[in-house]
Amino acid sequence: MTNRLCYVCEGGDCTEKGSGDIFDKLRDLVKEFDPGEERIKIRRYPCFGACEQGINVTLYPDKVFYSTVTEADLPEIAAHIKGEGEPVTRLTGKCQPDVEQIIWDMLDSPY
């Protein structure tokens, strides 16, 4: 089983911007080529703290932090997950580096 992990923020701001639909649609897109979660697990995450830049989606261990994600971006993100595309750079680098680092610190847990 893969350790690759995608989080979609379901904090208050992101939820109000429609992160629930983003989660469902991204999961459906990824299921088309990875129905058994062998390449990546897609999970909801309570809040990354980059609320102003929401909707936020992270990929680990790639350490790609996507912000201002909309439904139109999902095919490109799914292609990146599939290995058929590069990170969608127009959606990266939008939030504070220290906010990004918090989630990577947690996922890089030494334990």
Partner 1 sequence: MSIVDLEAKIPNNVGLRDNKRLTMALEKWQPKFLDWWNTVGPSDFNKHDIYLRTAIGVGQGGWAHFDYVKMPDYRWGIFLADGPADRKIHFGDQVGEAAWQEVPGEFRNRLRRLIVTQGDTEPASVEQQRMLGHCCPSLYDLRSLFQVNVEEGRHLWAMVYLLQTHFGADGRDEAEAMLERHSGDVDNPRILQAFNYPVTNWLDFFCFTAFMDRDGKYQLASLAESSFDPLARTTQFMLAEEAYHLQTGENGVGRIVKRTGELMAEGKDPRTVGAIPLEVIQRYINFWFTGSMDLFGGEDSTNAAESFANGLKGRYRESDGIYKDPKALNANYSLEVPTEDGKIEKKDIPLRRAMNAVLLDAYIADCRRIVDRWNRDLEKTGVSARVYLPDHKFNRHQGIYAGFRFTPQGELIDEATWTHKHTEWLPTQADRDYVNSCMVKVTEPGKFANYIAPPAQGVNNQSLDFEYVKFH
**What residues make contact with partner 1 under the rule CB under 8 A?**
1, 3, 5, 10-13, 15-16, 20-21, 23-24, 41, 43-44, 46-47, 49, 52, 96, 98-99, 102, 105-107, 109-111
Q: How far apart, in whole angstroms, are the C-alpha atoms of residue 46 and residue 25?
A: 18
Hey, CA dihedral for 19, 12, 48, 65, is it positive or negative? positive
Tell me whether residue 21 or residue 84 sits nearer to partner 1 (CB atom): 21
Write down the least CB distance from residue 94 to partner 1, Å.
14
Q: Which is nearer to partner 1, 20 or 87 (CB)?
A: 20
Angle between helices 19-31 and 74-82 (to 10 degrees): 40
